[in-house]
């Protein structure tokens, strides 16, 4: 498989551009279901060690069903599949530009949760207009082993998030293990106590917040993704979920910039417009940089041909 690696504000994306599985026809939701059931070995080989890492997010390019889209894209990670990925969409856009498949201006990506617009501002800067986002429940309290009562909001930004208002410790990389442990405990507690998103959607992202380090930012976050790896970027879908909560609380007006700082200090600039149904449509601006072009090899006699599970 030919892949192109990039990072978006520190968070890696690996795009399969040739040699991926043929998932046939149908919508992106049907194709990702086929990917999951028939070709999960490909996901593991691309993402898991020795070829990948827990922090890596993969993206498979495929033919779109819509003529107004540049490509279809299916996102996946170390434990499964994602409906949408904000940093990954920025990485995909920069990768498509690197390949000469899109130019400056607005293009569209077809994902399993809807069409996402990507505006290529320059070779590295992209604004993603995400899927409509909204807060589902406010001030939900869960009993968490080792932490006690933890309160947060449940919001959709392309994935389900639990946004915790009080971080359990400083949002510094030196506390990464403590933050990861706390976020995993919150995730387990939500699952065990039957707390989820709309229609029982699993909450598989936990987001902590604190005051930013940089005077030019509005907030600092730590986001734990499915599979237990923290997001090096400020998280596009997580920032979208945050905007939905701010909008619902009347704390951020439409078309007003909100700068989200990650735990490593990288930043996204976000804003939103109102949707017709009371949800918001967030736009996230960030930078991605191509890191490598390579061919992944899977030899039949390799005991870790499909990754180290």
CA 290 to chain centre: 18
At residue 166 the predicted structure's pLDDT band, cuts being 50, 70 and 90, is confident
Residue 278 scores a pLDDT above 90: no
pLDDT, residue 188, reads: 97
**Which of the residues 62, 85, 225, 245 is marked catalytic?**
85
Query: What are the tokens at 185?
Result: 């405990």
* Superfamily in which the 2-118+290-295 domain is placed by CATH: Diaminopimelate Epimerase; Chain A, domain 1 (3.10.310.10)
Instruction: Give the Cα separation of 125 and 57 in Å (integer).
Output: 19
pLDDT, residue 234, reads: 97
pLDDT, residue 165, reads: 85
Spatial contact of 217 and 261, defined as CB atoms under 8 Å apart: yes
Question: Domain extents for the chain?
Answer: 2-118+290-295, 134-274
Residue 157 scores a pLDDT above 90: yes
pTM score, whole prediction: 0.93
**Which of the residues 62, 69, 225, 235 is marked catalytic?**
235
Residue 207 scores a pLDDT above 90: yes
Q: Which region, left, alpha or beta, applies to residue 288 given φ > 0 means left and ψ of -120 to 50 means alpha?
A: beta
| CB within 8 Å of 204: residues ≥ 6 apart | 159, 160, 187, 225, 226
At residue 249 the predicted structure's pLDDT band, cuts being 50, 70 and 90, is very high
Residue-wise pLDDT for 99-141, tens only, equals: 999 999 999 999 998 899 999 999 999 999 998 999 999 999 9
Q: Over range 202-227, report the average pLDDT.
A: 95
Residue-wise pLDDT for 45-101, tens only, equals: 999 999 999 999 999 999 999 999 999 999 999 999 988 899 999 999 999 999 999
CATH number of 134-274: 3.10.310.10
pLDDT, residue 154, reads: 98
At residue 277 the predicted structure's pLDDT band, cuts being 50, 70 and 90, is confident
Q: Over range 228-248, report the average pLDDT.
A: 96
Whether residue 235 lies in the annotated active site:
yes
Q: Do domains 2-118+290-295 and 134-274 have the same CATH topology?
A: yes
């Amino acid at each position: 498989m030919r892949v192109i690696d990039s990072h978006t504000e520190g968070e890696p994306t690996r795009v399969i551009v040739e040699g991926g599985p043929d998932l046939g026809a149908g919508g992106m939701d049907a194709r990702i279901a086929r990917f999951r059931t028939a070709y999960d070995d490909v996901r593991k080989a691309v993402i898991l060690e020795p070829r990948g890492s827990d922090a890596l997010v993969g993206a498979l390019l495929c033919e779109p069903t819509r003529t107004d889209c540049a490509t279809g894209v299916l996102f996946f990670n170390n434990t499964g599949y994602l409906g949408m990925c904000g940093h990954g969409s920025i990485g995909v856009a920069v990768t498509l530009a690197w390949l000469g498949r899109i130019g400056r201006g607005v293009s569209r990506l077809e994902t399993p949760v809807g069409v996402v617009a990507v505006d290529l501002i320059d070779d590295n800067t992209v604004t993603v207009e995400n899927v409509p986002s909204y807060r589902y429940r406010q001030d939900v309290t869960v009993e968490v082993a080792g932490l006690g009562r933890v309160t947060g909001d449940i919001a959709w930004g392309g994935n389900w998030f639990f946004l915790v208002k009080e971080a359990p410790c400083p949002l510094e990389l030196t506390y990464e293990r403590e933050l990861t442990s706390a976020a995993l405990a919150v995730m387990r507690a939500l699952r065990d106590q039957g707390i989820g998103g709309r229609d029982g959607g699993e909450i598989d992202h936990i987001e902590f917040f604190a005051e930013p380090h940089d005077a030019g930012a509005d907030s600092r976050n730590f986001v734990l993704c499915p599979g237990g790896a923290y997001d090096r970027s400020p998280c596009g879908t997580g920032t979208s979920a945050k905007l939905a909560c701010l909008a619902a609380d009347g704390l951020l007006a439409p078309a007003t910039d909100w700068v989200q700082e990650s735990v490593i200090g990288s930043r996204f600039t976000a804003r939103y417009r109102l949707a017709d149904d009371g949800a918001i449509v967030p736009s996230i601006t960030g930078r991605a940089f191509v890191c490598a072009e390579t061919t992944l090899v899977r030899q039949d006699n390799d005991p870790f041909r499909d990754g180290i599970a």
